[in-house]
Amino acid sequence: MHNVVTKSRDVTLLEVLDRVLDKGVVISGDAVISVADVDLIYLGLKVLLSSVETVEQLRGSPFVGPMQEPT
Amino acid sequence: MVVEGQLTYLYCVADREPKIREIEGPENNLYSVCHNSLYAVAAKVEESKFSEEGLKKNMADLEWVKTNATLHERIIEQIMTNTCVIPFKFGTLFNTDDSLKAMLDEYGEEFKAILGRLENKEEWGVKIYCDTEKSKHFSINDEPEILKIENEINSCSPGKAFFLKRKKAELLAQVVNRKINESGQENFDLLKELSFEARINKLLPREVTEREDDMVLNSAFLVGKDDVGDFINMVDALKVYYENEGFFIDCTGPWPPYNFCGLSNQKVRNA
C-alpha cells in the first residue's frame, strides 16, 4: 500500500462519479440497456455532494445492495 | 439464469476468475459468468429500477445515484485486488445472462487485448487546482515588468496611477494564465514520462467541485505497478514546488482503469 495518496481514505464522491458515470466501457447492442451520458452538473452534484462530502473507507465497508433503498 | 422481473447488471470483465465469494453479501447478489475464457462480474437487479424507464427516473434521484455509483465503484475495486479488470460504465444492463454471453463473444478478442495491455498497471488520477488570487500575489515579485509598474504607481500622480493599476491588473492576469498553462503542461508531461498512457479530461466547474479555487488540469495516468513509487514521489515533488505558487495538486488512486479501456468504436469518446 502506498502511504502518500491512497484513495481509501479521503476520496470525494466527485472522484467516483467523475469516473463511473462518465468513463468505463460502453457497449452497444440490441440486448443492452445503457445509461446515457450523465452530465454531473445536470445531476445537481452540488446538492449531492453537500449531503455526503466524502466516501470514507471505500474499501472494507459493508456493501449496500443495488436494490436497497437509500436511507 | 433467467429470473422474471430481473435484469443482469454488469460491473466488470476479467480474464482470471474473480474472487467474488469474499465480497458476496446478502444484498448485492454478485456472481460471475464464465464464457469465452472471460469472467464477467454481474448482479441480478430489479427490472423496475434498472429498466430504461426506471433508470431515467432514478438517475434524477441524487441519493439513489450516490448509493449505486458508490456500490459500482466498490465492487469493481474489490475485484481488481485479485485480477486485472475492464470496468464498465455505471448502468450497463442485459436482459439475460445469455445476452451478456453474446456480448462476451462479440467483444471477446478486444477485451482480451485490452486486459493484456492493462496487466500489472494501475490508473492514477491527478487534478490540479489554482487559486488565482494567491497565484497573482506570488507572481508580482517574479515579473520585473510588474514590479516596475508598481514602483511607478507609488511615485506618480493619482490619475496616472489609475491607468497603471489597470495595466498592472491586466499584466498580472496574463502572467497567471500563462503560469496555469505552463504548469499544467509541465505537470502532465513529467507524470506522462512515468506512465504507459495518459489522458486529459474535461475540467469540472466550481459548481461541481465545490472548491474555492479553479480546476486547471484533470488528468489520468496508466502507471506500471512497479513505477507507482516513482510516480508518487514525482507528484510529491511537484506538490511542494507548485503549492508555493498557488496550485493544489490532488492525486488519487489506484483506480480501476476507467480511462484506459476504450473499445475501438469508442476512440472518439476517449480522444
Each residue of B114-139: pLDDT tens digit?
999 999 999 999 999 999 998 988 88
Cell 488528468, located at residue: B219
Indicate whether this complex's ipTM tops 0.95: no
Q: Which residues contact B227 (CB under 8 A, 6 or more apart)?
A: B194, B195
The per-residue pLDDT for range B129-185, each reduced to its tens digit, is 999 998 988 888 888 889 899 899 989 998 999 999 999 999 999 999 999 999 999
Answer yes or no: do B73 and A35 touch at CB < 8 A.
Answer: no
Q: What is the pLDDT of residue A52?
A: 36
Cell 494501475, located at residue: B122
What single DSSP character describes residue B20?
Answer: -
pTM score, whole prediction: 0.81
- CB-nearest to A26 from B26, B29, B89 is B89
Cell 447478489, located at residue: B29
Distance CA B34, CA B78 (A): 18
- CB-nearest to A19 from B49, B51, B258 is B258
Distance CA B185, CA B106 (A): 39
- CB-nearest to B66 from A13, A27, A41 is A13
Q: What is the pLDDT of residue B55?
A: 83
What amino acid is encoded at B65 in this protein?
A: V
Set of cell numbers at residue B43:
448482479
Nearest CA in chain B to A23: B258
Residues from chain A contacting residue B29 (CB–CB below 8 Å): 65-67
Q: So where are chain A's domains?
A: 7-55
Phi, psi (rounded to 5 degrees) for B267: -55, -40
Distance CA B214, CA A57 (A): 27
What single DSSP character describes residue A63?
Answer: P
Q: What is the pLDDT of residue B206?
A: 85
- Tell which wins on pLDDT, A31 or B204: B204
Instruction: Quote the Cα angle for B118-B121-B127, to 5°.
Output: 110
The yes-or-no verdict on residue A70 having pLDDT over 70 is no
Closest by CA to B70, choosing from A26, A9, A48, A16, is A16
Answer yes or no: do A68 and B67 touch at CB < 8 A.
Answer: yes
The per-residue pLDDT for range B218-244, each reduced to its tens digit, is 999 999 999 999 999 999 999 999 988
Nearest CA in chain B to A9: B252
Contact predicate A17/A40, CB 8 Å: yes
Q: What is the pLDDT of residue B73?
A: 93
Distance CA B161, CA B184 (A): 34
The yes-or-no verdict on residue B269 having pLDDT over 60 is no
The yes-or-no verdict on residue B65 having pLDDT over 90 is no
Contact predicate B35/B105, CB 8 Å: yes
Set of cell numbers at residue B269:
469518446
Residues from chain A contacting residue B253 (CB–CB below 8 Å): 5-7
Answer yes or no: do B50 and A68 touch at CB < 8 A.
Answer: no
Q: What is the pLDDT of residue A68?
A: 37
Q: What is the pLDDT of residue A47?
A: 44
Query: What integer is the mean pLDDT of B4-29?
Result: 81
